[in-house]
């Protein structure tokens, strides 16, 4: 587009010169139009940089004056050089009229350059306004979807927990063990479905409490035939530290899903300690012989790593040891 516009502009001016009885060599026209084009783009870039860097008007005016001085000097210099080449006269100087003509040409090209810059800036601003408008509409649409999802989430858990409560009351006198399982399940699900607070975290002691609930629930499922040692330091229960929800619980879920917890000679280990704001979390368990596809396990671990990197960049250390027999997780987080 730029090349096309310059061709039209130059063709128009040259044709007008010849139509008015003027003339000039190709070298002369080439020299002057190269200067015109340089001034046009240098000035447009100067305005762009001044706007981007928020320079003062004084800096911008100084830049424009410097451009004009250089343009006039180069125009006179090229004019004298071409005149000497074409006439073979070594002593040719510039007249006052030559300076006025060069100055007027510079002002003319500056005007075109500034008009181009304002037009381009108007297009850019209009495009940004359209992008912001579209982004706002998309944001409003996402908000509407979230509000609908939140409404559904409020309705479904209400029905779920009422149903669990009904089942609990119905079987409490018949099977205390089953009713205890219903209570544990309801507690774990209530924690998992509780809306996340504004900081995106939950109390550490609540996350750890769900670990014990999850272990107890699975012990009920397998008639207390799982061998798991849980060690939680006293500093955790009274702590006010906060953690991303379901982070530790995901490791525990993976342990039940992929681990062999039925060997009394190699019980699984779950350790949670807190020193100041440093959380130390460890799990260790035998691996099942009939493991599901490794890709599924790796996807789960990859998701956990992504969450840790997003929530605790540079403030966590995760080491996973898989020797084919045992699976060990060692996680340290600066809360």
Q: Is residue 152 part of a domain?
A: no
Q: What is the pLDDT of residue 154?
A: 54
Question: For residues 108 and 39, what is the distance between their CA atoms, to the nearest angstrom?
Answer: 11
Q: What is the pLDDT of residue 295?
A: 46
293 and 213: one domain?
yes
Q: Is residue 236 part of a domain?
A: yes
Q: Is residue 123 part of a domain?
A: yes
| DSSP notation for 278-305 | EEEEEEEEEEPTTPPPHHHHHHHHHHHH
Q: What is the pLDDT of residue 282?
A: 95
Q: Is residue 259 part of a domain?
A: yes
131 and 206: one domain?
no
Question: For residues 168 and 162, what is the distance between their CA atoms, to the nearest angstrom?
Answer: 10
Q: What is the pLDDT of residue 80?
A: 82
pLDDT digits (tens, 9 = 90+) for 290-325: 765 554 556 667 888 888 888 888 899 999 998 888
Question: For residues 280 and 153, what is the distance between their CA atoms, to the nearest angstrom?
Answer: 33
128 and 208: one domain?
no
**Mean of all residue pLDDT scores within the chain:** 82
- Residue 209 belongs to domain with CATH number: 3.30.565.10
**pLDDT, mean of residues 181-207:** 78
115 and 223: one domain?
no
Q: What is the pLDDT of residue 25?
A: 75
pLDDT digits (tens, 9 = 90+) for 244-288: 888 888 888 888 888 899 899 999 999 999 998 899 999 999 988
Spell out the residues 6+ positions from residue 222 whose beta carbon is closer than 8 angstroms to its own. Answer: 262
Q: What is the pLDDT of residue 75?
A: 86
211 and 115: one domain?
no
Question: For residues 140 and 149, what is the distance between their CA atoms, to the nearest angstrom?
Answer: 14
24 and 118: one domain?
yes
Local confidence band at 28 (pLDDT 50, 70, 90 cut-offs): confident
128 and 48: one domain?
yes
The total number of structural domains that make up the chain? 2
Q: Is residue 289 part of a domain?
A: yes
Bigger pLDDT: 177 vs 307: 307
Q: Is residue 144 part of a domain?
A: no
Spell out the residues 6+ positions from residue 248 whose beta carbon is closer than 8 angstroms to its own. Answer: 207, 208, 211, 272, 281, 331
Q: Is the pLDDT of residue 114 over 70?
A: yes
Using the 3D structure, point to which of 138, 163, 183 is the last residue of a domain.
138
- Return the minimum-mean-pLDDT range out of 36-50, 57-71, 168-182: 168-182
Q: Is the pLDDT of residue 235 over 70?
A: yes
7 and 133: one domain?
yes
Q: Is the pLDDT of residue 330 over 90?
A: yes
Q: Is residue 168 part of a domain?
A: no
Q: Is residue 194 part of a domain?
A: no
Task: Provide the whole-model pTM.
Answer: 0.50
The residue segments making up the domain with residue 131 are 2-138
Q: Is the pLDDT of residue 155 over 60?
A: no
Question: For residues 318 and 332, what is the distance between their CA atoms, to the nearest angstrom?
Answer: 7
């Amino acid at each position: 587009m730029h090349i096309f516009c310059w061709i039209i502009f130059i063709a128009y001016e040259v044709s007008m010169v010849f139509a008015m009885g003027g003339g000039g060599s190709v070298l002369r026209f080439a020299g002057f139009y190269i200067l015109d084009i340089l001034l046009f783009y240098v000035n447009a870039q100067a305005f762009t940089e001044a706007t981007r860097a928020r320079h003062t008007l004084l800096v911008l005016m100084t830049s424009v004056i410097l451009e004009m001085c250089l343009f006039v000097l180069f125009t006179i210099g090229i004019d004298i050089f071409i005149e000497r080449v074409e006439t073979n006269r070594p002593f040719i100087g510039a007249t006052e009229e030559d300076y006025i003509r060069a100055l007027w040409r510079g002002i003319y090209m500056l005007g075109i350059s500034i008009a181009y810059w304002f037009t381009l800036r108007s297009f850019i601003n209009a495009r940004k306004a359209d992008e912001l408008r579209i982004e706002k509409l998309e944001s409003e649409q996402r908000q509407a979807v979230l509000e609908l999802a939140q409404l559904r989430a409020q309705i479904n858990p209400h029905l779920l927990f009422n149903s669990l409560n009904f089942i609990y009351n119905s079987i409490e006198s018949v099977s205390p063990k089953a009713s205890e399982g219903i209570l544990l399940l309801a507690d774990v699900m209530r924690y998992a479905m509780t809306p996340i607070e504004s900081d995106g975290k939950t109390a550490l002691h609540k996350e750890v409490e769900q670990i014990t609930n999850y272990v107890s629930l699975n012990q009920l499922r397998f008639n207390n035939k799982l061998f798991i040692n849980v060690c939680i330091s006293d500093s955790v229960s009274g702590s006010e530290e906060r953690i991303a929800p379901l982070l530790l619980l995901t490791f525990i879920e993976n342990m039940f899903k992929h681990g062999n917890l039925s060997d009394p000679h190699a019980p699984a280990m779950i350790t949670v300690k807190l020193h100041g704001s440093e959380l130390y979390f460890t799990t260790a368990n035998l691996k099942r012989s009939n493991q599901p596809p490794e890709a599924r396990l790796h996807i789960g671990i990859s998701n956990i790593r992504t969450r840790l990197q997003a929530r605790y960049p540079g403030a966590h250390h995760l080491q996973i040891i898989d020797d084919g027999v045992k699976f060990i997780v060692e996680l340290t987080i600066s809360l």
